[in-house]
Amino acid sequence: MKANVYKGGSHCIRYMIWKDTDNGPTHQTSGSVPLYPDGKRITEEEGRIKVLRILKRQGVKAYWDLDKVTHHRIEPDTVYLHLYHGRLDPDEDMEGFGTEGPLLGPFETVQFTYANQIRCISADGEEKWLNWDDNQLILHEGVYYGDCSFHSNKDSAFVGLG
């Protein structure tokens, strides 16, 4: 599905969602986000961000901003999992912070199950499972990691402490 986004006078940001079919575009739904919710003014940009959230929930993949005459792809929200503080032997007495691990992802969903597994699901439905061992370490490709962090994009991943 696709959408058009445009300013509706001075009071709202409007959107119209449509779907391409063999017979041309078909209107699905439309709506608006007020720039004065509850009598309090929000900026146009804040209104556009609220519209973008609505479009994502509706499964829209791209939209035209008719005011700015620009086309935008809507990427799914993603999360990356960064493993660090690694060691080859789970019983190793650590003096430092171990080895830097991989940055895994992007994933749309990360789920913890039974406090011993991490289930990571990518946008195409592919699943990656990680397990905690008896020492509460995450095992990945033969390395045991003591720490992990979550990031909204690859650039925000930080290097393990140490």
pLDDT of res. 92: 86
Contact 18, 61 (CB under 8 A): no
* Nearest CA-CA partner of 65 in 43, 47, 41, 78: 47
Amino acid at 70: T
| Residue 69 burial (C-beta neighbours within 10 Å; 0-12, 13-18, 19+) | exposed
pLDDT of 78 reads: 82
Report pLDDT for 34.
Answer: 93
- Mean pLDDT in each 10-residue stretch from start to end of the chain (162 residues)? 89 91 86 89 89 87 87 80 91 84 88 86 86 90 91 64 38
Listed by start position, the domains of the chain span 2-73, 79-156
Q: What is the pLDDT of residue 79?
A: 87
Q: How much is the pLDDT for 141?
A: 93
Cβ burial of 126 (10 Å; 0-12, 13-18, 19+) is exposed
Q: Which residue has the tokens 């959107």?
A: 15
With a threshold of 0.85, does the pTM exceed it?
A: no
pLDDT number for residue 162:
38
